Amino acid sequence: GESVGLHLPTLSVQEGDNSIINCAYSNSASDYFIWYKQESGKGPQFIIDIRSNMDKRQGQRVTVLLNKTVKHLSLQIAATQPGDSAVYFCAEAQIYNQGGKLIFGQGTELSVKP
Amino acid sequence: DTGVSQDPRHKITKRGQNVTFRCDPISEHNRLYWYRQTLGQGPEFLTYFQNEAQLEKSRLLSDRFSAERPKGSFSTLEIQRTEQGDSAMYLCASSSGTGYQETQYFGPGTRLLVL
């Protein structure tokens, strides 16, 4: 079968360890950033978001860090669980200038070993 | 279920046929977005609506594609004269569009296979 486009970056972690997924975004004018989790055959599921006037935001077991100087975004997952196994996408948007349409990054496949 | 719903979930069609997908957004969400996702890639923006007005269309949206949101609630995406390259997952998302709460919530998608 065809395999074009299947070579996602992968991250493999042990259950209970912390995971860090990185993303470089492209547009310095972007003012809103969001992380999604996507399981096979399902739509993207919202995890956490952050606006450009912040550099850190925490949720339940997740933290997003934003470094505008180098246009870098990261997602930290504490105490990773097997249910966290999925593909993770970062996305950027310009809320006020472009209606909030999301520009997605490549995606990282997270595999959690029990 | 108060999330975004899409119908059908799967569609197999022959090249040259027309297909139509439906999206029902979260109630009272003003903005509705369509994205397309191919295997191993992130979703790509196609078009979006603010209430019933279609405000932007991507260059990915050829003239064979048309989207509507006639009453500012559900939306349809039609593809005419389908081609094999149209095979993809078509995702719908909605947001409140208030400028403060901009989270886009996605539906489960419609997977299209063109033979």
Q: Model confidence over B38-90: pLDDT tens digits?
A: 988 999 999 999 999 999 899 888 899 999 999 889 999 999 999 999 999 99
Go through B40-54 and write b for each residue having 16 or more CB atoms within 10 A of its CB, e for each that does not: ebbbbbbbbbbeeee
Task: With CB atoms and an 8 Å threshold, state whether A100 touches B31.
Answer: yes
Radius of gyration of chain A (CA): 14
Q: What do you get for the CA distance between the two ends of chain A, in Å?
A: 30
3-state helix, strand, coil in chain A (%, to 5): 5, 50, 50
The residue type of A3 is: S
Residues of B in contact with A49 (CB under 8 A): 102-103
% of chain B with per-residue pLDDT over 70: 94
Chain B from 71 to 90: CB within 8 A of any A CB: none
Distance (Å) from the C-alpha of residue B99 to the closest C-alpha of chain A? 7
Phi then psi for residue B23, to 5 deg, are: -130, 130
Task: With CB atoms and an 8 Å threshold, state whether A102 touches B4.
Answer: no
Residues of A in contact with B91 (CB under 8 A): 43-44
Task: With CB atoms and an 8 Å threshold, state whether A105 touches B40.
Answer: no
Q: Does B104 touch chain A (CB under 8 A)?
A: yes
Predicted pLDDT of residue A8: 75
Do A24 and A105 touch, CB atoms closer than 8 A? yes
Give the separation between CA A66 and CA A68, rounded to whole angstroms: 6
Mean pLDDT, chain A cut into blocks of 10 residues (114 residues total): 55 96 91 94 94 94 96 96 96 78 92 93
Predicted pLDDT of residue B101: 60
DSSP-based three-state secondary structure for A66: strand
Give the separation between CA A48 and CA A37, rounded to whole angstroms: 10
Q: How many CB atoms lie within 10 A of CB A56?
A: 10
Give the separation between CA A50 and CA A83, rounded to whole angstroms: 23
Q: Is the peptide bond before B8 cis (omega within 30 degrees of 0)?
A: yes
Task: With CB atoms and an 8 Å threshold, state whether B35 touches A6.
Answer: no
The residue with greater pLDDT, A99 or B23, is: B23
Predicted pLDDT of residue B73: 92
Q: Considering only alpha carbons, which residue of chain A is nearest residue B88? A: A41
Burial class (CB in 10 A: 0-12, 13-18, 19+), A42: middle
Task: Give me the residue from A6, A91, A105 closest to B40, CB to CB.
Answer: A6
Residues 6+ apart with CB under 8 A from B12: B112, B113, B115
Tokens representing B29 are 């969400």
Q: Which among A40, A50, A89, A102 is the top mutation candidate for probing chain B, defined by the most B β-carbons within 10 Å of its own β-carbon?
A: A102
